[in-house]
Structure 1
């Protein structure tokens, strides 16, 4: 009998030992330069199905075909105990970027992450607002894992004993080059599911891989022109009359303002919310909304999707909500038709239909201690984990539908997104408030297929306030969100003039920003992007030599330097923000001649320069031949179809070319071809002077360009 039990035990051990299945992937080219493979048995619900992303096929066709970018035989898949292990090769000098919206690091090689939607908690560990499972290689390709699960990432950290390129074993006792992180030749990922879709995006450059990823996910959003102006968020308990007075003060002081954000107090109850106007503070919401529109100001409403039991529709939506509550509020399941219809009908009928222009969708990210747990169940059958990874996608998708049905573009704020969410007209924000980390997040957003704003909240000094304002002028959304401290743009007398000038600069640059967003939509080029995506930029990672304190830490090692405080803004601009207390800073210029944005003076070529800009300006530099279309500063964005005069600035010694985008500025008619790109050309004459021209407008296409003047900045 004992022998029989031992035999059975050995069989069980044998089954366990063989519960590992290797798989050779079969790659299908689904779009030019984009390949898909199925590892194991992919789940029906994933990031792309949640987002509803649809490729921009014509734009991808224009990018053309490229060879498969990595060795297929070096891509490995194993199915182990109901989970999927993936392995992709890395060369010795290869760097990787991406893996979501990181705040402190740009180079991700050597990092271990768990990609998990959450509020950012001061550590780049994968828990962030947009943990997009997409990475880009310095070799010019990208990898995307289409799974709505928490994914573990070992980005060049794990070393297999069967590696073809193993690290050298070093003696810690005698070798000064010993490291606790020896070289690894692979990126390894663990997906806690029986399978997943895998996508490879070809280049040939890293920017091309990013472009293909963005276009595969629908292209970037094209905001309405008013979305690129300034937004001011007001105190959570403001009334309609308070908002009127706020708008009036902006007007009287000459500060541009395009949309006002109403915080939770517009609702009768919040945390959880009713999504119903408070009758005391906003007795006539339709009249109030129209009144603000007549002044050229839109309203953006704060919401989170957790429903108060006192909401009029609470009883009807209750059967379509989670097993768990948030702040004692119901959590709608947006993957049920009925739950989705009840919730978004409330937004449509009482808010969007009366002229509300957008939303700030809060708290769809985390923290664990108040959000639903992973043990939560939902009527659609999805797990708490799957819903956590995709809830931000769902609220963006179905709220945008409300505006698209009205043929009115929106531009709002959200706290969570993920792979597949590139096309949504939302900008991510959070309550973390480190200025330098905000700039690093802005850089990393270009690898994550999302937009991020380094918003301005409270500041201790006028210097800090001005430096933060300067950053948002050169970011996706120019937002002042200092209502809690009641700080206004003009609160610091010592820098009020400079702050106002920055407000006006944002408005003057609207033709440039609008054109760059159009290229994000139609061509997949992020309007704000990492230097590592710029041609001619070479940032060598170096070990920072520092004095070791071996008494404190006998295993202390040198750390790596990386450039994470400067970025590209549009086709031609390099932005290098200043932070409070800085008098000067270094800027790494890509190869080619660069010029000062404000003066047109030459500053350098492929070198490290030191700048001392003073308080007035944020350092900005323009490529040789750069063209920046600008307009007269104004208090509000141009109205539907309104013509504006354009001043075209040219920098440097080279001839230049720029595609200026134009449409009606507010509707979705551009999706039906109602738009045009007009070519701006600057050529050098025999007398070494410059001459500019702009192509004529197309017939029967929107044309908002009035008179065009020219300013050649480099003399």
Structure 2
């Protein structure tokens, strides 16, 4: 009897019940379904991001059928964890999982999605480990959890699989592999339940659009945010900042906002958030002086509060148990902590004219960020706050500017799923030019923005190549916080750098409309080729594909490989950067005619082309029938409601239509209907000549278009 009782107790305490079930799916928007497994936690990524779904925009995309076999999607609760399984087809490729720097194809990878400083390996520990992936079969999956997630992205095989890998004999079979075929994406969530979402396409781009729109649509930056920014040396004084701004103007280099690094504060690491009285004796005067020059101020911060900060004592009840650099960590998931914290920023920074923030150090490393054993007054786990702290600071700081009805544009070191709409661009201290481009490509799969900033270079050639990619990115920025680098630091290429900087300014109308498409339609302004119609990505045929036959069918075989060094910018431009030391490079053109951006000549259609390295330009190609609006090359972005003259370039041999977005470029009045889409159209007249027209601005709506000049770039072809 005693033995029986002991056995029963052992089974009670040490056996673990397992519940396996199909997930029940509920349609919640056109082409979007929600499913839950187990008991989801109350706090998730959307608890921090609080996205406002753009339901009307989703309705325009239309209804779709559920894109997967629901019976093949399962959730299991065991050991306090939830195990999710989503099917994969043979030959299917997947993209996403946040800000990866080396890989675009994610099938076959194992990742721990964990907010952290990027350490040089795509293992999931990164600045924005978004638990969203999109398939080349035209659907997306989002796991809404604020926990560290283990992802097996087609890397593990179940014994009971309906489509198992073939058992091969390593002794005799040359095709044996240590990574056999897997037919599923599996996710371990360390919680007793989780909510998941499926987004239909039918194309991969449309699946990404639905994800972005469900998360509020992309940000619409102020026009000045799309100009040029210089981050000055960390210990510059007020007078040195003014001198640097004057130098830009004197040398004819554009500048829209200047970034002040940690030395603007009286103490940093941890921070007082107060102006240093020696280096910056009159910050309000500085802000006004720069405003009169057409230049804004962006302030570097990290969130950790110095004991010498004026707001330190007021926040005492809301600090976590551990410090960062001896600074207190406010629990910004709590309403009262948010109020006390950000009110100080509003009064000391925004009210004197500061236009934005660079929010650093909200990512990692483990050796200085709070540990997972830390506790917080909200009761949230340390890992939940780590996964969402970047979302919290973005959401709350952006709201400060919204309260003053002015838009902001800033930098942040960490983000996650749900942060699509925030006006922040990701960055880090990693500095590999090639990997920067891969990160820019990957950002478009996950509702992120990433900037391949320029800091300093070993050679003038490297500097020019880095600067060229900065021009074709979400934020045109030099980060000279440590080096003091200027655009003209390398005199051998100073004129080429200036020309590229001015080109960035000319393209503001194009960039601004591209971001409007991101905001209203969910189309990423910078995105990988695998989202591009006409690219025909065939996907990998196995997690570890064999050699590709580049002789028999070079184009179709080449596009099976990862395309990590070219990308789409806006609706019409294909950008193919050069890297230092290259004398030429290949470019894979999607189906359809493509033309050179600079001179309009025809370059190819659905083929691989070889491009020689010119010293002055980054290769850019334009889709058939495109219209590209440019303004004059000026030193500052247009002010609120300021009219500018446009040169509208037409490329190709076909008629074209382009919808140009217009508002005041500054406020949130567009959310109340104060915006318009103007139709640009090019077609041939009765004599066979190209003719361009611009639709009239509706009465009472914004109109920032001055005179218009048409340029038919490919008319000689």
Alignment of 1:182-221 (within 5 A): 182-221=180-219
Is the partner of 2:362 in helix, strand or coil?
coil
- Per-residue deviation, residues 571-599 of structure 1 (Å, max 9, x unmatched): 00000010000110000000001000011
1:541 deviates by: 5.7
> Are 1:643 and 2:631 an aligned pair?
no
> Are 1:271 and 2:269 an aligned pair?
yes
1:224 aligned to which of 222, 225, 230: 222
Q: Distance in 1 between matches of 2:61 and 2:353?
A: 39
| Corresponding residue for residue 689 of structure 2 | 689
Q: Which runs of 5+ in 1 are unaligned?
A: 547-559
Q: Distance in 1 between matches of 2:353 and 2:686?
A: 55
Q: Is the 8 A contact 2:99 2:443 kept in 1?
A: yes
| Corresponding residue for residue 473 of structure 1 | 471
1:68 aligned to which of 59, 66, 69: 66
1:9 deviates by: 5.5
Alignment of 1:412-561 (within 5 A): 412-540=410-538, 543=545, 545=547, 561=561
1:637 deviates by: 0.4
Q: Distance in 1 between matches of 2:691 and 2:208?
A: 35
Q: Distance in 2 between matches of 1:588 and 1:174?
A: 39
Q: Distance in 2 between matches of 1:169 and 1:24?
A: 29
| Corresponding residue for residue 245 of structure 1 | 243
- Per-residue deviation, residues 654-677 of structure 1 (Å, max 9, x unmatched): 111111111001000001010001
Q: Is the 8 A contact 2:632 2:645 kept in 1?
A: yes
- Per-residue deviation, residues 392-429 of structure 1 (Å, max 9, x unmatched): 00000000111000001000000000000000000000
Is the partner of 2:462 in helix, strand or coil?
helix
Is the partner of 2:328 in helix, strand or coil?
coil
Q: Is the 8 A contact 1:133 1:145 kept in 2?
A: yes
Q: Distance in 1 between matches of 2:78 and 2:169?
A: 35
| Corresponding residue for residue 705 of structure 2 | 705
Q: Distance in 2 between matches of 1:483 and 1:284?
A: 21
| Corresponding residue for residue 371 of structure 2 | 373
> Are 1:599 and 2:602 an aligned pair?
no
Q: Is the 8 A contact 1:539 1:563 kept in 2?
A: no
Q: Is the 8 A contact 1:539 1:562 kept in 2?
A: no
| Corresponding residue for residue 113 of structure 2 | 115
1:341 deviates by: 1.3
Alignment of 1:60-209 (within 5 A): 60-209=58-207
1:10 deviates by: 6.0
Q: Is the 8 A contact 1:544 1:561 kept in 2?
A: no
1:5 deviates by: 4.9
Q: Distance in 2 between matches of 1:158 and 1:309?
A: 50
| Corresponding residue for residue 12 of structure 1 | 12
Q: Is the 8 A contact 1:631 1:646 kept in 2?
A: yes
- Per-residue deviation, residues 507-561 of structure 1 (Å, max 9, x unmatched): 0000000000001000000000110000010345675759xxxxxxxxxxxxx94
Q: Is the 8 A contact 1:489 1:496 kept in 2?
A: yes
1:179 deviates by: 1.0
Q: Distance in 1 between matches of 2:536 and 2:60?
A: 28
1:50 deviates by: 0.8
> Structure 2 vs 1, CA of residues 10 and 322 (structure 1 numbering), >3 Å: closer, same or farther?
closer
| Corresponding residue for residue 257 of structure 1 | 255
- Per-residue deviation, residues 46-99 of structure 1 (Å, max 9, x unmatched): 001111111011111111101111100010111111110000000001110001
Q: Distance in 2 between matches of 1:537 and 1:166?
A: 30
Q: Is the 8 A contact 1:87 1:186 kept in 2?
A: yes
Q: Distance in 1 between matches of 2:41 and 2:282?
A: 48
| Corresponding residue for residue 554 of structure 1 | none
Q: Is the 8 A contact 1:541 1:562 kept in 2?
A: no
RMSD: 1.3
Is the partner of 1:645 in helix, strand or coil?
strand
| Corresponding residue for residue 552 of structure 1 | none
Q: Distance in 2 between matches of 1:256 and 1:483?
A: 19
1:686 deviates by: 5.2
1:688 deviates by: 4.0
- Per-residue deviation, residues 445-477 of structure 1 (Å, max 9, x unmatched): 011111000000110100000000000100000
- Per-residue deviation, residues 359-395 of structure 1 (Å, max 9, x unmatched): 0000000000000001101111111000000000000
Moved more, 57-66 or 218-227: 57-66
| Corresponding residue for residue 550 of structure 1 | none
Q: Is the 8 A contact 1:299 1:358 kept in 2?
A: yes
Q: Distance in 1 between matches of 2:213 and 2:141?
A: 14
Q: Distance in 1 between matches of 2:242 and 2:505?
A: 22
| Corresponding residue for residue 286 of structure 1 | 284
Q: Is the 8 A contact 2:585 2:613 kept in 1?
A: no
Q: Distance in 2 between matches of 1:706 and 1:561?
A: 46
1:482 deviates by: 2.4
1:2 deviates by: 5.6
| Corresponding residue for residue 387 of structure 1 | 385
1:331 deviates by: 0.4
Q: Distance in 1 between matches of 2:546 and 2:3?
A: 63
Q: Distance in 1 between matches of 2:584 and 2:488?
A: 25
Q: What is the count of residue pairs matched by the alignment?
A: 700
Alignment of 1:592-631 (within 5 A): 592-631=592-631
Is the partner of 1:709 in helix, strand or coil?
strand
Q: Distance in 2 between matches of 1:84 and 1:307?
A: 36
TM-score by structure 2 length? 0.96
- Per-residue deviation, residues 228-278 of structure 1 (Å, max 9, x unmatched): 000000011111100000000000000000000000011000000100011
Q: Is the 8 A contact 1:624 1:651 kept in 2?
A: yes
> Structure 2 vs 1, CA of residues 673 and 366 (structure 1 numbering), >3 Å: closer, same or farther?
same
| Corresponding residue for residue 588 of structure 2 | 588
1:25 deviates by: 1.6
Is the partner of 1:325 in helix, strand or coil?
strand
Q: Distance in 2 between matches of 1:166 and 1:450?
A: 35
Q: Distance in 1 between matches of 2:138 and 2:111?
A: 22
1:12 deviates by: 3.5
